Amino acid sequence: MPASVITASALTKKYKDTAAVDGISFEVAPGESFGLLGPNGAGKSTTMRMLGAVSTRTGGDLSILGLDPNQYGPEIRSQLGVVPQADNLDQELKVRENLLVYGRYFGIPRAVVAKRADELLEFAQLADRAKARVDDLSGGMKRRLTIARALVNDPKILLLDEPTTGLDPQARHILWDRLFRLKEQGTTLVLTTHYMDEAEQLCDRLVVVDKGTIMAEGSPAELIRRHSSREVLEVRFGSDRNAVVAEQIADVGDRVEVLPDRILVYAADGEGVLAHLSGRGFEPITSLVRRSSLEDVFLRLTGRTLIE
Amino acid sequence: MSAPSVLRPRRFGTWYVAEHRLRLMWAYGSTIVATSIGNPVVYLFALGVGLASLVDANLGDGAGGQVSYLVFVAPALLASAAVTVSAEEFTYPVLAAFKWNPVFSAARAAPVTSAQIANGVIVAVVLRMVATCALYFGVMLLFGAVPSAVGALGIATATLTGTAVGVLIMAYTSTVEEDKGQMAIIMRFIITPMFLFSGTFFPLAQLPVYLQWIGWISPLWHGTELGRVLAYGLAEPIWLTGLHVAYLSALTIAGWRAAQIIVERRLDK
């Protein structure tokens, strides 16, 4: 197996007495698409800033492309593309100018960066907006421009912090498509998300993080297999009855979780469980059988839902 | 894996940041040029011609005693013009680049360093000050306000004055997390009084002794006096001229370094 492009061991970031990242360890292989899945405040963004060689770790070891970010910040950053959680495009410049200015930061000659900017606008489906003001772009377009900007130096690793948060479904799908293409071209992707569908779509492997620590690691399918059942039956009996019913059916399936608005029954055969419940006289207001997802893994590991 | 070459960003990072800042200034370039020419015309007419007619008539030899009021006031206005540009560029644009249009954090993700970001911002403003002062000086020449050819060096000393004030403002602005009107306070309670009490319109010695300290600590007074020495050979001891240069240089070096450190601390989170 080729050497890892990222190796973190016992990586820690403390702000005064609070540990935002509390000793996490993981490796990312070249060309891999690696995700950090967790709720807001889990320490994902802090981790990303350390990986981006802009935030100094307070403990542990970190190697990016074989280099220590404490010593080789500029060398590492010259090979990274960074898409931060909040777009930090220059709103006072036009769309294409954002790419030109940014490319210069990498020491790319003007003529080269001009050509590259046109290619990237094409890739980001923004060629017709080259002269538009950044302010006039939609959220999805700004995101694509931020990704285009992150690619201006042809990076070995692309770091994406919550790439589709706040976007509508169509914009998300366009973005996922672009990221897929990059993955196919062999770019290593590291992304954080609190969307399980995004993690399932984009990540070969991921770690589930909560409160600055890693709860589990594996491919989406592995994590689901390991920490959840094949299917989930969701039943609603009304918010005042859910808790009571949950106690009465606790023996059904592999496991029963009660949420304020619904009961989740984990089982290999969801339809079978539903029939069984109905046979015992439980008639839910609504019922739904679905595949287990990373959301269920997260709930299992932390006792909480991802989006609160 | 050996460290890849980041020779260019390491060597020219400051310039790349300055390029970006200049591009932003270019967007309102016509306003910059218009004010750079309009301001000296208006000020020199109002003070150097208008007020001067009163001063020269009543004080004979002009307020400075040696020269006409126009010649006396022009170097002060030149230095003030640099300080005005500097105060303008190191307040809101710097705060914006941290907060509302966070281009510094974007630049920090590229191979440039925090110190280069601070340097680039300063270099760009210095270039704008040189341009503004050169235009200002051109208008001064048209008014016949500069008797000595050495007076052209006033462009450099005015820029140094603006830089000395500016880097201190930048160091402060870089610490501001929430905008609670601090920038307006800088303008009203630091820049404006400095403009009024730095021997700009009358010699510092005319002020009551208990107010003269304002001039002594004011970079603008030192810059103004330096400009007068160059423009018309203001008579002052050589050590005092040396002190003006030393004071402005010391503020520039200290403020510049402080700005680098504060920017670094703010961007490394």
Task: Dump pLDDT digits (tens) for A104-125.
Answer: 999 999 999 999 999 999 999 9
Q: What is the mean pLDDT of residues A92-97?
A: 95
pLDDT for residue A178: 85
Q: Are strands A188-193 and A6-15 parallel, antiparallel or unpaired?
A: unpaired
pTM: predicted TM-score of the whole model, two decimal places: 0.90
**For the domain that residue A179 is a member of, what is the CATH number?**
3.40.50.300
Q: Which domain holds residue A46?
A: 6-216
**For the domain that residue A263 is a member of, what is the CATH number?**
3.30.70
* A12 phi, psi to nearest 5 deg: -135, 140
List CB contacts (< 8 A) between B267 and chain A. Answer: 54
List CB contacts (< 8 A) between B92 and chain A. Answer: none
pLDDT for residue A298: 86
Q: Are both A166 and A254 inside the same structural domain?
A: no
Which region, left, alpha or beta, applies to residue A7 given φ > 0 means left and ψ of -120 to 50 means alpha? beta
pLDDT for residue B28: 84
Neighbours of A285 (CB within 10 A): 10
CA dist A258 and A244 (Å) reads: 10
Residue A15 domain-assigned (yes or no): yes
Kindly list the strands in the beta sheet with A263-267, ordered across the sheet, starting from the edge strand earlier in the chain.
A255-258, A263-267, A231-236, A286-291
pLDDT for residue A130: 96
Mutation target vs A (from B2, B8, B121; most A CBs, 10 A cutoff): B8
Q: Are both A107 and A174 inside the same structural domain?
A: yes
Q: Measure B36 CA to nearest chain A CA, in Å.
A: 22
pLDDT for residue B65: 63
* Interface contacts (A, B; CB < 8 Å): 92
CA dist A54 and A52 (Å) reads: 6
Judged by average pLDDT, the poorest of A134-138, A272-276, A286-290, A293-297 is: A293-297
Cβ within 8 Å, pair A74-B10: yes
Task: Dump pLDDT digits (tens) for A231-281.
Answer: 999 999 998 888 899 999 989 989 999 888 899 999 999 999 999 999 999
- Rounded to the nearest integer, the mean pLDDT of chain B is 91
Task: Dump pLDDT digits (tens) for A7-29.
Answer: 999 999 999 889 999 999 999 99
pLDDT band at A2 (very low <50, low <70, confident <90, very high): low
pLDDT for residue A290: 93
CA dist A129 and A140 (Å) reads: 13
CA dist B206 and B211 (Å) reads: 10
Q: Are A20 and A79 in contact (CB under 8 A)?
A: no
Q: Which value does ipTM take for this structure? A: 0.87
Q: Are A158 and A190 in contact (CB under 8 A)?
A: yes
Residue A247 domain-assigned (yes or no): yes
pLDDT for residue A17: 86
pLDDT for residue A136: 93
Q: Are both A47 and A11 inside the same structural domain?
A: yes
Residue A191 domain-assigned (yes or no): yes
CB half-sphere exposure, A87, CA atoms < 13 A: 23
Helix, strand, or coil (residue A214): strand
Q: Are both A34 and A139 inside the same structural domain?
A: yes
Q: Is the pLDDT of residue A199 over 70?
A: yes
Residue B265: closest CA among chain A residues belongs to which residue? A55
Cβ within 8 Å, pair B13-A105: yes
Write the single-letter amino acid at B170: M
Name the strand (E) or helix (H) holding A267: strand A263-267
List CB contacts (< 8 A) between B17 and chain A. Answer: 105
Give the residue numbers in B contacting A (CB under 8 Å), as ranges.
Answer: 1, 3-4, 6-10, 12-13, 16-17, 19-20, 23-24, 27, 101-103, 105-113, 267-269
**Of residues B17, B109, B113, nearest to A52 (C-beta):** B109
Q: Are both A32 and A85 inside the same structural domain?
A: yes
Q: Are strands A33-37 and A18-28 parallel, antiparallel or unpaired?
A: unpaired
Residue A297 domain-assigned (yes or no): no
Q: Are both A59 and A24 inside the same structural domain?
A: yes
Q: Are both A150 and A268 inside the same structural domain?
A: no
pLDDT for residue B58: 75
Q: Are both A147 and A266 inside the same structural domain?
A: no
pLDDT band at A308 (very low <50, low <70, confident <90, very high): low
Q: Report the domain count for chain A.
A: 2
pLDDT for residue A301: 87
Residue A306 domain-assigned (yes or no): no
pLDDT for residue B64: 47
What does A141-190 look like in DSSP terms, one character per residue?
Answer: HHHHHHHHHHTTT--SEEEEESTTTT--HHHHHHHHHHHHHHHHTT-EEE
DSSP state of B150: G
Low-confidence ranges of chain B (pLDDT < 50): 1-4, 61-64
pLDDT for residue B3: 42
Task: Dump pLDDT digits (tens) for A212-236.
Answer: 999 999 999 899 999 999 999 999 9
Residue A305 domain-assigned (yes or no): no
Residue A162 domain-assigned (yes or no): yes
Q: State CA B99 to chain mean position distance.
A: 24
Cβ within 8 Å, pair A90-B1: no
